[in-house]
Amino acid sequence: MDGAHTDRGAFDTFCQNNADWLDDYALFMACKGVYKDAVWVHWDPGLRQRNSAALKEWQNKLSSETAIHKFAQFEFFRQWEKLRTHCSRRGISIMGDIPIYVAHDSADVWARPELFRLDEQGKPNAVAGVPPDYFSATGQLWGNPLYRWDVSAMSGHRWWIDRVRASLKLFDLVRLDHFRGFEAYWEIPASASTAAGGKWVKGPGAEFFQTLQTELNELPFVAENLGVITPEVEALRKQFGFSGMSLLQFAFGTDPQGPTFRPHAYSHDLVAYTGGHDNDTTVGWWTSSGVGESTRTAEDIRNERDFARAYLGFQNEPVNWVFIRTVLASVANIAIIPLQDALSLGSDARMNLPGTVSGNWRWRYKPKALTKEISEQLRRLTLLYDR
């Protein structure tokens, strides 16, 4: 009984301490169950518009269901804290991620619609994405609702401050997704079928990060500064001392940033990757034709491989281990190796293909795949390059 009493007390404390987001989230998820997962804009008007009487009615009606969702969050956070403590005791830091945008069909947008570019029915009137790039000739149409940065600023960016503070409780270091969107973002009409017809619109810029810094003091961010990066974007990153990112896969092709992704041009304030979650695995990238997965032509790919061989000085060695050695040997303060590259896996282990809506994020590590031989190779390189 004592254990059950302790758990109940811990659960009640968790609910009280996280009420600012947990109450809305739990009610949102419970209502999703009632409406068979329908998007919230199709719910009853009172609930959709968050009428206070309607909210109270639904909270009372779904009290058991909301309690279940709250308890699931309680258990996750309790288990995560045990994991983080375990890692911390062993000198292991955890790096997380803050996506710049959130899904339209989310508790965030339903609970705070005034912060987003929505019409009277609650549907987005402008959405996020990026212009034509390496991955797609028509750009990437993400479809997330854009922010009303003027409204956010009026509240002192309180929603963002709470969001970042929550992430910093979970992680030691945070990758700030699509950093360039805070300087300028690609605005696409909600009715568009591709991202090609969008336009650049100025973001909140330095004022936003200054507000975060004043409120939170330390901002242990890694800025995801990939894509169409301008001098203004890099100036913003350096103004606040955020680390940048460098992907070795992008160093040898036609990417405008290519020259800065070559290790001889690295600076210390970088996180160097062989490839990221949007890239193919290194083995897959090296052996693929590029058809259907990027805008590279056959000639582009031949030139890219020839340049990579010449630059990295290898012939028949496994390309993934050449890449791993290269980023570990670089001057970048942090080097990150996707597990798929350490395991020498091909395109079937790719995590995500930008611009597609299905078949992604399905790869899973299989027990014992990380063999003693692979572990020893990683250990040797880690020690060799003082990592």
User: What's the CA gap between 79 and 259, in Å, rounded?
Assistant: 43
Please tell me whether residue 141 adopts helix, strand or coil conformation: strand
Choosing from 224, 280, 293, 304, the catalytic residue is 224
Contacts with 154 (C-beta within 8 Å, 6 or more apart), sequence order: none
The alpha-carbon radius of gyration of the chain (Å, integer) is 23
Side-chain-facing half-sphere of 352: CA atoms under 13 Å: 10
**The residue type at 207:** E
Please tell me whether residue 268 adopts helix, strand or coil conformation: coil
Does 75 qualify as catalytic in the annotation? Answer: no
CB 141 within 8 A of CB 154: no
Choosing from 172, 177, 234, 300, the catalytic residue is 177
The structure tokens 């899904």 sit at 103
Does 232 qualify as catalytic in the annotation? Answer: no
Does 114 qualify as catalytic in the annotation? Answer: no
| DSSP state at residue 124 | B
Choosing from 57, 234, 269, 278, the catalytic residue is 278
Find the Cα–Cα–Cα–Cα dihedral 362, 368, 374, 375, rounded to 10°: 110
Q: Let me know how many helices (H) and strands (E) the chain has, helices first.
A: 15, 10
Query: What's the Cα-to-Cα distance from 143 to each of 31, 103, 104, 189, 305, rounded to whole Å?
Result: 23, 8, 8, 10, 34
Q: Burial-class residue 366 by CB neighbours within 10 Å (0-12, 13-18, 19+).
A: exposed
- Tokens of residue 158, six digits: 């309180």
Contacts with 310 (C-beta within 8 Å, 6 or more apart), sequence order: none
CA 328-332-336 angle, to 5 degrees, is 55
Q: Which residues are catalytic, by number?
A: 177, 224, 278
